[in-house]
A and B are shown apart, each in its own frame.
Chain A
Amino acid sequence: EAAVTQSPRNKVAVTGGKVTLSCNQTNNHNNMYWYRQDTGHGLRLIHYSYGAGSTEKGDIPDGYKASRPSQENFSLILELATPSQTSVYFCASGDPGLGGDTQYFGPGTRLLVL
């Protein structure tokens, strides 16, 4: 069974603070993604990676950095958190090249920036 885990599950941060969201997958998928989901916007892609050492900007990368130190781990970093970054963040893994297009999502992290 595909498995994507995220930590922490809930986080309260202060404006200007640094926040790191972690994601781990045991699917051996090359691709990993970070999304945020807000009411009225749906899922929006922040950063993604197609392998260890690579990170690419998605649709809304401003204010976020990403790190992919290994096949299994993909982190999202908010260097200077702002209240507008309060949201639910989902990590996903997938491999689109084999005739299918399944993305496996982690359980999400609820971030509140005060």
Chain B
Amino acid sequence: GQGVEQPAKLMSVEGTFARVNCTYSTSGFNGLSWYQQREGQAPVFLSYVVLDGLKDSGHFSTFLSRSNGYSYLLLTELQIKDSASYLCAVRDTGTNAYKVIFGKGTHLHVLP
């Protein structure tokens, strides 16, 4: 069916890295965004990708494979404050180009 899927939880260690995966199935595709959401706060935009490949933005990098319906958000040199939920969102060009489909989010817990 149509949708955006993410693992519910992820744990990693301070100073290392974490990869947050996202798979999607939509009738069309017009870009994928990543958001960070801390506990009790609103989502905050991190990155937008529409072309295949790796987009390096320093602490956050994103990868996209449109043919596989797959993206990941890579966080390097993890800090405790990176503990948050990370939401993947896909813009569908199907019946409604204004509609963005959000995944349920992956809660990343960074251990000291």
| B43 neighbours in A (Cβ, 8 Å) | 43, 90, 103, 105
CA distance A56 to B48 in the complex (A): 25
CA distance A94 to B104 in the complex (A): 20
B20 within 8 A of A: no
Most buried by A among B44, B45, B105: B45
CA distance A107 to B50 in the complex (A): 27
For B26-53 the 0/1 string (1 means CB < 8 A from A) is 0000110101000001111100101000
Interface residues on B, range: 20 to 34
Chain B: minimal CB distance from A11 (Å)? 16
Pairwise interchain contact B102-A42, C-beta atoms closer than 8 A: yes
Consensus secondary structure, chain B interface: loop
**Contact residue among B33, B99, B103 (Cβ-Cβ distance under 8 Å from A42):** B103
Given contacts A48-B98, A90-B43, contact A96 B91 (CB under 8 A): yes
A61 within 8 A of B: no
Pairwise interchain contact B45-A90, C-beta atoms closer than 8 A: no
Pairwise interchain contact B99-A45, C-beta atoms closer than 8 A: yes
Pairwise interchain contact A96-B44, C-beta atoms closer than 8 A: no
Interface residues of B (CB under 8 A from A): 30-31, 33, 35, 41-45, 48, 50, 87, 89, 91, 96-100, 102-105
